Amino acid sequence: MSEMPMLTTHEEVMFFDTDCAGVVHNLAYLRMIETCRTKLAGLLGMDLAGMAETRLFPVVVRTEIDYRRPAKLGDHLEIHGCLERVERARFWCAFEMKVKGSETVLVSCRQALAMVQMPSGRPQRLPADWKEKWQGE
């Protein structure tokens, strides 16, 4: 059994990430989390170019996100992502966002994903070896 895959991505807050309340917009955090999640999927063996070919895509089926503290223009953010749990037909990833060099969690998020064959939209079982390799506790 391997250690659960994990990964950190980095973002600098741009104008398009903020809104007129002066802080990062709630949708922008989820876009940053998608970048982290996609690179995490790469660690699990899914690569973007391959998906475009096979049209077997990881699809978000549930998101839970808590916005605790706001990030601001120019902040350097770290997004820590990990595989949290593998079920038969879905897997859960967890994410935490912090300003670089700080321990304060700005945003925490969990997402469940399924593997879906397009264009039929039919969900697929996850590879059998995932549960063996990454047995979530």
- Cβ density class 24-36: b for 16+ within 10 Å, e for less: beeebbbebbeeb
Among 1, 2, 15, 122, binds a copy of itself (CB under 8 A): 15
By CB under 8 A, tell whether 99 contacts a copy of itself.
no
Distance CA 86, CA 119 (A): 24
Closer to a copy of itself by Cβ: residue 43 or 73: 73
Q: If we measure between CA atoms, which residue out of 76, 63, 72 comes closest to residue 108?
A: 63
Q: Which residues, listed in sequence order, are joined to residue 79 by a DSSP beta bridge?
A: 9, 97
By CB under 8 A, tell whether 87 contacts a copy of itself.
no
Binding residues (CB under 8 A) for a copy of itself: these are: 12-16, 18-23, 25-27, 30-31, 34-35, 38, 47-49, 51-52, 55, 57, 59-68, 70, 72-74, 116, 118-119, 121
